[in-house]
Structure formats: structure tokens, C-alpha cells
Copies of this chain bind each other. A is one copy, B any other.
Amino acid sequence: MKLYEQVADAIAARIDQSYYQVGEKLPSIRAISQAHGVSISTAQEAYRLLEEQGRAEVRPKSGFYVLAQSKSPQQLPDLSRPAQRPMEVSQWEDVLELLCANTNREMIQLGRAIPELGAATLKPLSRIMADLNRQDPLATLNYEHLRGSDNLRLQIARLMVDAGCVLHPDDIVTTTGCQEAISTSLRAVTEPGDIVAVDSPSFYGSMQAVKAQGLKALEIPTHPETGISLEALELALEQWPIKAIQITPTCNNPLGYTMPEANKKRLLAMTKRYDLPIIEDDIYGDLAYQAPRPPALKSFDTEGRVLYCSSFSKTLAPGLRVGWCAPGRYLNQVIHMKYVVTASTATLPQMAIAEFIAQGGYERHVRKMRAQYQQSRDVMIGWIEKYFPAGTKISYPHGGFLLWVELPSELDTSELNEYLIPENICIAPGVLFSASGKYQNCMRLNFTDPPNAKNEAAVERVGELAAQLITEQKATLNGTKRV
């Protein structure tokens, strides 16, 4: 073993022992050279090797950082290949079915995107709510400003600095969850009949917003590690009169990728050429495992063409229904739509979240959850590799608590769900994430819960049933062929 390999191994071991954590800055080359008693060039070689191995990355003018666990042996899903023309979004009945199935309290909800709500770091939020209610009932019971609580907008502006965004509180409108931010943004920048380009697979809630607004979705091929294909998007922009782009570029739902910075910049340059607005859904952005979190698309936007949408539904709790929108140059239209749709956002949760952030509670909670979800991801991937049929491909999330699983093409995951639900297990079938009924053999699973035997058994059961359905389907197909 060469000297630089020994040094690289030593650093890798420390990463494995979590001595250096994901996203953390590694010692400088000079420091490594001193610590290991090797030359500067050997230290440089060691880092080059770690980069090659996907253990570290260099950040210009800054140094080397620990990368999220290098690709595990699992095979990633392929680049998606959705229909190459604008489609009306269907699948509402399927979405409704999923939403209803998941309301059963006994259900093991592998299909929903709900964060962990039992964490001790979340407790102070409820206390703050009770206190505010007692201290100032007149304020908590009254309508909040149309734009949202002043305090909360100030705190949000501060949080968004982490995503590289420098905003004034008046650039921000609070909303009833991210869903309202997305649907009002869509309505602000499109007319019924327009075409919207979307990443694919894509969160079913925003797809349904596209449907409800009478729009057509043009699904753009999307890579499970780098996101929307800019080549495919450029081609689509040349061919179709696209009016807006709607994507989730950071810690994507369902695929889990974060678009590389360079791609984010190229995307913005492209929309500038075509003079298009982008609706950026960043709801999982603060749950990126890497620290500091990756910059939002919005952070590169100097022209106000990004309508940034987010909420506290994944970082804190969805039942609060508090989100926000930073709509850039479309601020006035979004405020109008927001007024028309819900008049104002609930008062007490806004006041409480503002106070929670100010006290440092948000930062503390999110830091804890990020680490927890990252660990759970690895356990969950392990289970799937163990229990799912051969040929299964699994995404490798950079943040959040959602996994995308692609099974052999014989499987229909909607059918699978119908067998699972009576057993009180529920997954999110792939078709929900497409306008055009693609991804029948895919599913989204969450790894919200700290790993436990009940969930492992559920994943095992999903894999078992999937294997069985695939075998049956193959037999039928062979049978048909023989006839």
C-alpha cells in the first residue's frame, strides 16, 4: 500500500467512525501533512484518492468536505423516461385512495411523507403555543396580516440565509402549508391550458395542482442523482410553448437527489433565455444531510423569476399548516391569490413557530432530525436490499426521509398496495408521481421512524408480496405466450 493510500485510509476510517461527519470540513492539506508526517504532495494525493472514492469533495476556495456515504452497492434507478409531450394529469382517484388509506391509525404508513413528531426537540413548540394562547388571546384569535406574521417572516428570512438567499421579510408571504404556496404560485404565473414543465417523477400534490389549474404537464426526464435533465428540458423548451417550470431541486420528493450547484445555475440561465418563471419547491431543503445545506435555486436568482415555496411540514410538523412563498417579481399576484384562497394563515402557529425559531429550537430540532434520518436511510436501504426481489433499484437520498424504489417491470405497485392495505401496510404507488401513468413498477417509501422491528417486518412483507406478484405475473405472461 502506498503512503498516500495509507493516509487516505486513515482519514476514511475516521469518517466511518463519524469522527468527521458528513458535510463537515476536513483538515487542511497542511494539517494532514503535519499530523501524518508526510509531504504536502502526499497529503494532496490522499485527498485526490478520497475524492475519487466519493468520500470527500473539494469546495473551491474552502477546502475538502466529507461527502455523504459514498454510493453503497445498491443499483440506482435509471434516468426516467416519461412521455415526451404535454399531458393532462390524471391519478386523482389514486391519490385520494392513498390519502384515505393512510388515515387508519393502525396502518404502517410507508406511503406518506410525515416527519417524526415524537422527538423531544419538538416539545418546546407545543409549550410555546400554550403560553402564547394564555398571554395574548386577542392576538392569537384574530386574523393575522394577509402577508403573514411579521415576526415569522423575519425569522424565515434569517433561516433562508442558510439556503444562500438574501431576502427582506416583505419578500415573503406565509401560506397554509407548502401546498398553498405551490398552488397560488402556479395560478399566479399560468392560465388554464398552459403547459408546465415538471421533474418526473414528481410529488403528486403539485401534480394535482397542475391538474386543478387546467394545465398540461410536460414531464422531463430526471436523473436519480442529479435531477432534471437540462438537455431534455432545453429540447422541450425549443419544442413547446412552456409557461413555467415546477421542480423540487433539493432533497427531491420522491427521488431524494439534490441537483448539483452547476446544474442549478445552468437551469436559471436557461429560464432567463426563455424568460420563464420557476416554481421551486424546497420543502425538504433544510433536511439535507450535508452541512451547510445546499444552496436553493432561488439563491442564484438575480431577476426575481424563482417563486420559492416551502413549509414547516417536514422540518417541524404538518398539522400546523404553516408554509411560505418568496415569489420574486410575482409577489403581488401571489398575495392576491393567497387572499382569495384562504384570506390569511392561522395566527397562533405562526406566532409559535417564530418564537421557536428565535429561541434556537428550529436549528436544534432540524440538526437532530437530519442525523437521525440519515442513519435510518442506511438501515432502510439495507432492509430493501435484503428483502426485495432481485433487480430492485433504490435511490440514494441526499436528505429528507423518502426513498424511491424501482422493481422489475412485471410488478404493478398499485395492485401490490391493494394486497398490503388489508394487512395494514401502505406504500405510495409510483403512478401517483406521473401525469402519464408511468412508474407502475415503482414505489415511494419513507424512513421517518427510527428503525424498529415492526417496520422491518413490514418492509420484509412488502418485498415478499412483490416477489410473489412478479412470479405470478411472469407465469401468466409465459402462459399467454405458450397459448
Contact = CB atoms under 8 A, between A and B. Distances in A.
State how many copies of this chain the complex holds. Answer: 2
A3 interface: no
B183 A318 contact: no
A340 B201 CA distance: 18
Interface in A145-187: 145-146, 176-177, 179-180, 183, 187
Interface size grouping (class) on chain A: 35 or more
B114 A138 contact: no
A455 to B, nearest CB: 16
Nearest to A144: B319
A126 B137 contact: yes
Contacts of A176: 176, 321, 341-342, 346
Interface stretch (A204-212, A286-294, A355-363): A204-212
Nearest to A143: B318
A319 B177 CA distance: 16
Contacts of A122: 137, 141
Interface string A105-130: 00000001010011000110010011
Contact of A212 (B117, B141, B187, B319): B187
Contact of A130 (B134, B211, B342): B134
A196 interface: no
Interface stretch (A331-339, A377-385, A458-466): A331-339
30 contacts: A96-B146, A96-B336, A96-B339, A99-B146, A112-B143, A118-B138, A126-B133, A126-B140, A130-B133, A130-B134, A140-B319, A141-B318, A142-B318, A143-B318, A176-B321, A176-B346, A177-B342, A179-B343, A187-B212, A205-B343, A211-B340, A212-B336, A212-B340, A319-B348, A320-B347, A321-B346, A321-B347, A341-B341, A346-B349, A348-B349
Given A122-B141, A211-B340, 19 more contacts: A99-B146, A99-B339, A114-B143, A117-B142, A122-B137, A126-B137, A129-B130, A139-B319, A140-B319, A141-B320, A176-B176, A176-B341, A179-B340, A180-B343, A212-B337, A320-B348, A321-B347, A346-B346, A348-B349
Interface of A: 92, 95-96, 99-100, 103, 112, 114, 117-118, 122-123, 126, 129-130, 133-134, 137-146, 176-177, 179-180, 183, 187, 191-192, 205, 208-209, 211-212, 214, 313, 316-321, 335-337, 339-349
